[in-house]
Each structure stands twice: as structure tokens, then as C-alpha cells.
Amino acid sequence: MTPEEIASFKPFLGRIPLFKDLSTADFDKVAEMLKPLSLPKGAVLFQQGDAADAFYVITSGQLQLRAERGGRTHVIGFRSRSDTVGETALLSGEPRAFSAVLDTTCEFLVLSKADFSAALAESPALLLQLSRSLSARLSQEARLGRGKRPQPRLLALVCALGDDDRAAFAASLALSLAEQTRKRVILVELDPKAGACAKALGLPGRPLDEEDLLGRDLRDPRVLTDVLERHPSGLGVLSVAPATLSGRLYKGLFLLYNLLRDNSDYVLIAARGAGGEV
């Protein structure tokens, strides 16, 4: 965009939660990276399963989010002016989890994958804003689900970020989710160097070892009192290396999973990668 176009979009961008708390210098850097895009009604912005190559800010129009499940197409949400779409897939490095199909002619500002990575590297504040934005969406889902029987949510965070950024993002997301939903949230850091997420929250970050669980009844909720580190917000953090769970504890993984699920509303698993056998 030209300097004049960038200047004209700044008031609009400044009202978007993802950008509004950035410093002036960080805000200007991100704004300069954005590219305009216009697509007609019925166009497909991206398909479920596509590689994530960009993230989008909607400046006008409306689109549907559609997911294929069990051979059927389900509309799982809508996005319109001032909403963002596609940032989660860029963070995780995973394929698109849904398709985005335009209900109307839409105008976008687009941040490419390369520019998105550069923006995160230059602006740690943007990473924190992303975590808050994601937790706000999860919180909204929780509010819409009030009156229904609560279903524990298991969320896997396999972020395509460096070690420090990954830990900061996971810790910020878990803390924001606990504070915004006022529900029981457990963050499980599954990493060979487990403990970074807890330390980012000001906790000791002591990794779990086999002796902490061997011989324990993993159906007893009191086990969590001993193995979780607690943040003042109520957020529980479990730091564990994949090798710990793939040894003598491997057969107890199912019980441990059920213990976490049955005693929380959200379990966030922050993993460096697929976790090997685990």
C-alpha cells in the first residue's frame, strides 16, 4: 500500500483487538506489511486442509467458516468487518481447520506468512495480543454454551514458534482463558525442556518425573494437588517431558488424561512437536 493508504487504514486497524494495544512503532511496522485484497461473493478465501500462507483482516463484507465432518459440510461461524481470520493456522503451522467462503463481496488486508513471522519476531506484544484474542473467542464460546451440560475441552497447541515465544504464547493464552472464563484451566507443557511455561507465569517450573506418579491412583483427584503448580489466578500448570510419559508411565496415560479432563473445563497441551509416542 502507499503511505496515504496506510495512513487511511490506521484508525480502523487501531480499533481491532489484535492491534489496538501495540506500541506506535510496532503498529506502524505491521501496518506497512499489510496488502489489500478484494474478492467477489462466492469466492473461497481458503479451503480446509490448505497450507496456511497468510492471515486476513476483513475491512468490509462477510464470510462463512465451513468445516467438513463425517462427509457433511457444517457452518461453524461467520466473520465480518474488523474480524481477523487465519492467524491460528499460521501460529500452529497446521493446515487450515476450516474453509472460508464469502457471503458478499469482501475487502481484506492481508499479512503473508513470511511477514507474519517477521512481525512476531519484531513485536513480542503482538504474540501476547494473539493469545488474548484466541482466549476471547474461547471465552465467547463458553458464554454461548451456558445452560448446556459443560463439556471439557482439550486443546493442543503445536506452535511453529521459537522456544521462548512458544512458552510465552502458551502461558499467556492459558492465563487469559482462566481469567476471562473463570473456569478450571490446566496447562500441560509437553516438552523435553518442560518448565518454561510455568516460569513465564512466575512459578518454579519443576518438571514432573516418574516417581511423582508411579504407584499413585490416577483416578484420585488429589493427585493433581500434588503434581500441579498453581498460579494465583487458579490456573494449574503441569510440566512434563515426553520421555517421562513414554517410559513406565505409558500404560497410565489414559488414566492421566481422564484425570485432567474430569477435573477441568479446559486442558491446553503446549507441545514442541507431535510428542513422539506420547
SS (H, E, C) 11-66: HHHCCCHHHHCCCHHHHHHHHHHCEEEEECCCCEEECCCCCCCEEEEEEECEEEEE
Domain termination site, one of 89, 122, 155: 122
For residues 194 and 82, membership in a common domain is answered with no
CA pair distance 120, 7, nearest whole angstrom: 22
**Above pLDDT 70, what percent of the chain?**
83
- Find the CATH number of the domain harbouring 52: 2.60.120.10
Nearest to 263 by CA among 154, 177, 179: 154
For residue 26, CA distances in Å to 88, 133, 223 come to: 20, 17, 44
Domain termination site, one of 78, 100, 122: 122
pLDDT of residue 145: 45
For residues 160 and 264, membership in a common domain is answered with yes
| Model confidence, pTM | 0.60
Judge whether 232 lies within some domain.
yes
Among 2-16, 74-88, 144-158, the minimum mean pLDDT is found in 144-158
**Above pLDDT 90, what percent of the chain?**
30
Where does residue 56 rank: exposed (0-12), middle (13-18), buried (19+ CB within 10 A)? buried
Judge whether 9 lies within some domain.
yes
For residues 142 and 257, membership in a common domain is answered with yes
For residues 173 and 265, membership in a common domain is answered with yes
Among 18-32, 73-87, 244-258, the minimum mean pLDDT is found in 244-258
For residues 218 and 197, membership in a common domain is answered with yes
For residue 261, CA distances in Å to 86, 162, 246 come to: 28, 28, 20
Judge whether 277 lies within some domain.
no
Judge whether 195 lies within some domain.
yes
Among 139-153, 179-193, 203-217, 219-233, the minimum mean pLDDT is found in 139-153
pLDDT tens figures, 107-116:
999 989 888 8
> Which of 120-124, 250-254, 266-270 holds the top average pLDDT?
266-270
When pLDDT is averaged across residues 76-95 and rounded to a whole number, the result is 83
- Find the CATH number of the domain harbouring 203: 3.40.50.300
For residues 71 and 143, membership in a common domain is answered with no
Is the separation of the CB atoms in 180 and 139 below 8 Å?
A: yes
For residues 42 and 59, membership in a common domain is answered with yes
Largest CA distance in the chain: 67
Judge whether 276 lies within some domain.
no
Judge whether 20 lies within some domain.
yes
Nearest to 8 by CA among 102, 107, 120: 107
For residues 108 and 134, membership in a common domain is answered with no
- HSE (CB half, 13 Å, CA atoms) of 47? 2
Range of the domain at 205: 127-271
Domain termination site, one of 122, 142, 172: 122
> Which of 2-11, 180-189, 245-254 holds the top average pLDDT?
180-189
For residues 83 and 201, membership in a common domain is answered with no
Where residue 146 falls among pLDDT bands split at 50, 70, 90? Answer: very low
72 pLDDT more than 70: yes
For residues 266 and 141, membership in a common domain is answered with yes
For residues 104 and 193, membership in a common domain is answered with no
22 pLDDT more than 80: no
pLDDT tens figures, 114-139:
888 787 777 767 767 777 666 666 66
Is the separation of the CB atoms in 148 and 44 below 8 Å?
A: no
Sequence-distant (6+) residues with CB within 8 A of 228 are 186, 236, 237, 238
pLDDT of residue 152: 56
For residues 166 and 102, membership in a common domain is answered with no
206 pLDDT more than 70: yes
Judge whether 207 lies within some domain.
yes
CA pair distance 184, 236, nearest whole angstrom: 8
In the block, residue with C-alpha cell 506418579: 213
Evaluate the CA torsion angle 95, 98, 101, 107 in order and state its sign: negative
pLDDT of residue 158: 61
How many domains are there within the chain? 2
Judge whether 38 lies within some domain.
yes
Q: Pick the residue with more confidence: 112 or 158?
A: 112
